[in-house]
Chain A
Amino acid sequence: MLQASNITFRVNGKALISDVSVSFAPGKLHLIIGPNGAGKSTLIKVLARLLRSQDGKVEYEGEDVRDASEADLARRRAVLSQAVEVAFPLTTREVVMMGRYPHFGGRPGPADEKITDELMELFDVTEFSARNYQTLSGGERQRVNFARVLAQLWRADSGTLSTSSLTPSTCRYLFLDEPLTFLDIRHQIEFMKKVRDFTDASDVVTVGVVHDLNLAARFADQIVLLNDGRVVSTGTAAEVLTAFRIREVFGVEPIFVPVNQGGIHLIFD
């Protein structure tokens, strides 16, 4: 369980998010939506404790993370960013292996090697293993980074994506900061499906930022609509995405198209 209570984050006196209280349950996929400048990325960074809010607190299972050490957090929290640039020629496998850094001291152990290989397989980047990361395309890089980020949260005993029935004592936290930006439509869908599968583990709390309202509506268990640094509404897609709110927050006129299995699809006027 991830709980944010009354968090306010200011830069030079200007509040980027103000008085946000929201909770995120394990096993559910939470997506944050909102227009540009709504504070989505800032909220993700405060929740992931890259930034510390001036007011309010962020708790992982009731534990305030303000003073948690970076090393401790890194063993249970991972963040996928929009684009990761590498300054020197690293191989793809070296980049994925970085996800295991919080889990070993000097050299990677056999479990770390195995997890790295598994995730490279899962994200279909094994063929790039020895290739220089800098030579990959934007989409390929993002797959490599997703493999890295999941390697960070992977449990050696879990084996498959949707993990076992027994719930480990601590939750794992996955944050996604606009991860779809450089992906084509096929990879966007595949990517969201993998996030969905991973989140099905009963100890995984997933919070992401996406721009595409239809992707959010299709994949999210809970949507958080943010505007001007404040939470406008939270709930299921049907609850949050009303014509009135979309008009108010995004300034566009939505048309609801019914699709099969009771879903909705939005087109904009």
Chain B
Amino acid sequence: MALIILRNIRKVYKTGNLEVAALINLTLNIEQGEFVAIIGQSGSGKTTLLDILGCLSHPTSGEYWLDGDNVHLLPDSQLTTIRNKKIGFIFQTFHLLPRKTALENVQLPMMYARASRAIQHDRASELLTMVGLKDRLYHYNNQLSGGQQQRVAIARALANRPALLLADEPTGNLDSQSGNDILTVFEQLHQQGQTIIIITHDPLIAQRAERCITLLDGKIMSDEMAHPSSATKG
């Protein structure tokens, strides 16, 4: 069974009397270990898809299965647990908490998972070491560069060993060098078997993934495997 199964997903937003369909009968499977880019222009529905994939909101209709869980039937409280245990979020604006060290930021998902303090500390420092921030454990956000902050965010996303890493324009606020470094980290994670979905409007970034899904007006326009040759171009 695929890690992610979307069946006839519809999402309709109501603004007053006006109904806007952001996603129209979207059907999609993503296997365990895939590195997928979802690409589309603004208004194509990619943010809505991110919210649904990330269990941040329910689809208006349709079915969503994540790692065997019947997400579309689960109440809010259980979605929280799924987000905590199975999904790692990476955002364009990093979303690190102010007045917290890199270590504390990475510990946060584990704190909500009620892990012991010792485990939180060990796992967080291990992850930060992995993303190359071994000597930045006790630095605050304002003492870190954008690229470093995004690495902290990646470490935080990985804290509870999620089934899915969900990145929303992860390089959008970074210069090309740092952005490239972040994508390299994603590629390494992919090689270790991590399922990754990157949502972006940038075709160049999408090329780094092994599969590229293009959205247009709430529907999948194309779904193709990237050429291995272009994957290394950057």
Bound pair: A and B? no
